[in-house]
Every structure is written in C-alpha cells, then in structure tokens.
DNA sequence: TTTTTTATATATCATATTGATATATCAGAT
DNA sequence: ATCTGATATATCAATATGATATATAAAAAA
C-alpha cells in the first residue's frame, strides 16, 4: 500500500489532480526518492476516494478543467499512521553498478569512463537542481523535508567525488586488487575466451 | 530487457541455477544495486535458453539435483553489447525520504528519530558487510567491481554521517529553515487542523 | 489571423514484475 | 527416527509499468 500513501503525502500539501501528482513525482527532486506511473495513479485516486481517504473538489470552471482531490480527516489519520511506521529499507536499481559488477578483466575501460562521465553530467545536473531548489518554483517544503534535501546533496556530492577519483584511478592504471579468494580470475578468463572462440 | 541482462551478468561469473541467481541478488552487496524475484528469474531463464543466450549443463547427479546454466557465445556477446550501452539513471524507492518529505510541522519528531536510528542500524550492518567483503565467502570480484564496492562504502559512510548530524539537529532543535516562498506554512497548518477537527 | 506545436489532463491496457504460496528433496540437528 | 531449515523449482493472483489514445487549452510560429 505504498503508492497510495505517497499519493496521500502529495495531497497533504494541498489539492492536486492526478496530473499534478505525476508531475510532483517527476519533479527531479522527488524523483530522487520515489515515482509512480499514470497507470497506477488514476486507479488509486478512485480507490482512495471510494475508501474515503480523499474527496474531489467541485471543479470551478476557470480555465482548464481538472479534478482536484483533497485529504479527508480519515486520509490525514491514515497518512500520519503510515508516517509512524518504520520505513522499509530503500530499493535501488542502478545499472551502472550492475554493469561494473560484471565488468571482466579484458573489457575496454574507455567505455566505462564514458559511462562514468555521462553519470557525472546527470548527477551534476541533479545536484544543481537540488541546490537551487527555491528558484525552481517549489512553493513549500518544511524543515524536516529540508533535512532530506540536505541528504540528497551530500549523497550527490559523494557520488561526484567518487566518480572523479574513479576516473583518475582508471586512467592512471591504479586499480584496486581483485578479490580472488580461490584463484578464479584465470579460470574465468580462459573459460570466457574459450566460449568466444567456439 | 534489464532483468535478462542482470541474469547474464551473474552467469558470466560461472554456472548458476535459478536459485543461485536469486541468492546472488539477495546477497546483501548485490542487493545494494539490483534484485529480482523467482517469478521473473525462472521464466527468463527459459526464455534466454530458447533464444540461445544460455544453455543448461547436463546435471551430474551428485547430491542435490539442480539445473545449472551457462552463457553461450551469443550470450557473452549480448552481455558485452549491453555493458557498452549507457546505463540508465538509477531508480530509488526510499520510504524514509518520502516520509520526511511529508512530515508536517507539528508531527512528533521522536518518531522520526526512531526511524533514523533504525535506518542507522541497518546501514551500519550493510557497511560492515561490504567492508568485510572477502570474509563473506564471495569467491571472486574483479577490479572494476571493487570500484563499485568502494562507492557503496562511501555512500553508506555519507549516509551514516548525515544520520548522526540530523539526529543532533533534531534533538538540539536546530532545524533548517523551511522553504516557503509563498507563505504557505501557516495556511497548511490551519487547513490540516480544520480537517482533523471536523 | 490561422495553423501548428506544446503542455495539460484523464484514461486504458498489454506486458512485466512482485510477493506469496505450493511442492519436494536433502542435510543436519534433536 | 523425526523434525527443522536450507535448497530448488514452479506457478499465479495482484500489482505496476510504459506506452498509447484522446481531448483541450495555451503558446508559438507561419
């Protein structure tokens, strides 16, 4: 029931439509921590309305017509209930590290450096965004939310530091030792060569 | 086609069964970056075999019977092809930060401190695991993989540092200023109080 | 001014994925 | 001898994604 709760969380800041919620999740800073697709947002909104956690505002027909939802008392209580539960440990899907984990000895390191430079560009952009937060039209974020932003900054700065160091290490040929408790390195290289020559 | 590739990546280190692959993904260190369920692993193995990326070894009937798969030449080429493609930017689902983002002014900060302490415990455990890597029966990880491990360490150290600082800030009442470009704080508090008193 | 493009807005659906559960076997403990 | 827990595969309902369809308002271009 986590997408539901993140929808309640967005609505706690003020009336929003399904589209608004999606934008909020795509908002690069929120995207650092969360996300959901239209295909889940709209059905969930209906479900949350049926259960009485939220209600739709009468649409004032000024400009574009959209359906704004707001939290009910029940919705607020549910949100606060959820906030009190111990958060589950984060789930991360990171292709860069997955790829690095299966980078074999004689594969081209220039390609890896390109991946790292690309990642650097993206993370720098995100860091700039997070740092210049108030300029980005975000109307309101409370003190505790700011603590989360501080973490996002630190994390990105650490990542950028690691990228620079790593590129240097690769280019100077100063790589860390492989962990090879059972002398598998040689076996693996020959196995791979053999397969590729078949 | 990303789960498929991460399966190929695991197989590149040696013959594995579906169960082995799942264990590898659950292996706390791999779990830092990736994961997949049995419900996707076994069907994908079948599919990969049909397509000719992997093949099943004749099961030697010593001890427990399991089906070990290995990469074909086509599988190796596909893996290397994938490794060369620019990795997509990481997707993170982090309930702690989602919750912090919707922590409202008058909610109990002691609960938040508990969340942070719980997170600290888990991240310390993971850091210990990553640091003591070679002791954990991992047979082989190559140089580039070690660079990824170094990043995992730095990230966790940064997180722990942030947690300590953050708890201190909360307990000393020294919280950062809210971002409130349109004076929404007051409006939000009264709106919430009103709803909860209905 | 008219046309085109882009952003807003909701909805749907095939496909992918999870999480849970079922089933069975083997190794080690009681 | 029996029980428990780890190994191993498989399946499936429920959930979620990603893509696409549709429509309108606003902005830009012609």
Question: What are the structural domain ranges in chain B?
Answer: 3-84, 95-197
Chain A within 8 Å of B135 (Cβ-Cβ)? no
Chain A within 8 Å of B189 (Cβ-Cβ)? no
Name the closest residue on chain B to residue A32, using Cα atoms.
B92
3-state secondary structure chain A: CHHHHHHHHHHCCCCECHHHHHHHHHCHHHHCCCCCCHHHHHHHHHHHHHHCCEEECCCCCCCCCCCCEEECHHHHHHHHHHHHCCCCCCEEECHHHHHHHCCCCCCCHHHHHHHHHHHHHHHHHHHHHHHCHHHHCCCEECHHHHHHHHHHHHHHHHHHHHHHHHHHHHHCCCCCCCEECCCHHHHHHHHHHHHHHC
C-alpha angle B18-B22-B23 in degrees, rounded to nearest 5 = 115
Name the closest residue on chain B to residue A132, using Cα atoms.
B179
Q: How far, in Å, CA of B137 to CA of B115, rounded?
A: 31
Say how far B176 CA is from D16 C1', in Å. 36
Nucleotide nearest to B64 (CA to C1'): C26
Confidence of residue B91 (pLDDT cuts 50, 70, 90): very high
Residue with more model confidence, A136 or B107: B107
Chain A within 8 Å of B43 (Cβ-Cβ)? no
All residues of chain B having their beta carbon less than 8 Å from the beta carbon of residue A102 are 9-10, 12-13, 79, 83, 145
Q: How far, in Å, CA of B96 to CA of B115, rounded?
A: 8
Q: Give the pLDDT confidence score for residue B143 in this predicted structure.
A: 94
pLDDT at B129 over 80: yes
Residues in chain B: 198
What is the overall mean pLDDT for chain B?
91
C-alpha angle B133-B136-B141 in degrees, rounded to nearest 5 = 55
Q: Give the pLDDT confidence score for residue A30 in this predicted structure.
A: 77
Q: Which residues does A198 contact at the CB level (< 8 Å), separation at least 6?
A: B73
Q: Give the pLDDT confidence score for residue B9 in this predicted structure.
A: 96
Nearest to A87 by CA among B120, B93, B95, B97: B95
Nearest to A179 by CA among A123, A93, A115, A101: A101
pTM of the model: 0.93
Contact indicator for B75, B53 with CB cutoff of 8 Å:
yes
Cβ–Cβ gap B178/A6 under 8 Å = no
Q: Which residues does B121 contact at the CB level (< 8 Å), separation at least 6?
A: none
Burial class (CB in 10 A: 0-12, 13-18, 19+), A38: exposed
Burial class (CB in 10 A: 0-12, 13-18, 19+), A189: middle
Nearest to A10 by CA among A61, A44, A60: A44
Q: How far, in Å, CA of B138 to CA of A119, rounded?
A: 28
Say how far B65 CA is from C25 C1', in Å. 9
Q: Give the pLDDT confidence score for residue B37 in this predicted structure.
A: 96
Q: How far, in Å, CA of A159 to CA of A123, rounded?
A: 8
Q: Which residues does B53 contact at the CB level (< 8 Å), separation at least 6?
A: B4, B8, B71, B72, B74, B75, B78
Percent above pLDDT 70 for chain B: 93
pLDDT in tens, B154-187: 999 999 999 999 999 999 999 999 888 777 888 8
pLDDT in tens, B2-33: 999 999 999 999 999 999 999 999 887 777 89
Token reading at A176: 């860390």
All residues of chain A having their beta carbon less than 8 Å from the beta carbon of residue B122 are 89
Q: Give the pLDDT confidence score for residue A159 in this predicted structure.
A: 98
Q: Which stretches of chain A drop beneath a pLDDT of 50?
A: none
Q: Give the pLDDT confidence score for residue B59 in this predicted structure.
A: 67
Confidence of residue B135 (pLDDT cuts 50, 70, 90): low
Q: Give the pLDDT confidence score for residue A137 in this predicted structure.
A: 61
Q: Which residues does B148 contact at the CB level (< 8 Å), separation at least 6?
A: A97, A100, A101, B33
Q: How far, in Å, CA of A172 to CA of B182, rounded?
A: 51
Residue with more model confidence, A20 or B133: A20
Chain B within 8 Å of A140 (Cβ-Cβ)? yes
Nearest to B150 by CA among A168, A31, A182: A168
pLDDT at B136 over 70: no
Say how far B169 CA is from D18 C1', in Å. 41
Domain formed by B3-84, architecture: Orthogonal Bundle (1.10)
């Amino acid at each position: 029931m986590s997408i539901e709760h993140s929808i309640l969380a967005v609505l706690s800041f003020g009336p929003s439509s399904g589209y608004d919620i999606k934008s909020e999740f795509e908002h690069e800073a929120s995207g650092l921590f969360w996300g959901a697709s239209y295909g889940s947002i709209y059905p969930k909104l209906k479900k949350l309305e049926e259960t009485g956690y939220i209600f739709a505002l009468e649409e004032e027909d000024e400009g574009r017509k959209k359906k704004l939802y707001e939290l009910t008392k029940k919705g607020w209580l549910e949100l606060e209930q959820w906030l009190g539960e111990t958060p589950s440990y984060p789930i991360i899907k990171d292709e860069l590290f997955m790829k690095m984990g299966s980078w074999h000895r004689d594969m081209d390191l220039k390609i890896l450096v390109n991946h790292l430079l690309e990642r650097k560009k993206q993370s720098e952009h995100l860091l700039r965004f997070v740092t210049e937060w108030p300029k980005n039209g975000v109307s309101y974020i409370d003190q505790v939310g700011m603590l989360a932003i501080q973490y996002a900054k630190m994390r990105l700065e650490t990542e950028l530091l690691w990228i620079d160091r790593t590129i240097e290490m690769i280019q100077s040929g100063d790589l860390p030792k492989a962990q090879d408790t059972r002398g598998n390195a040689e076996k693996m290289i020959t196995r791979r060569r053999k397969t590729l020559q078949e």
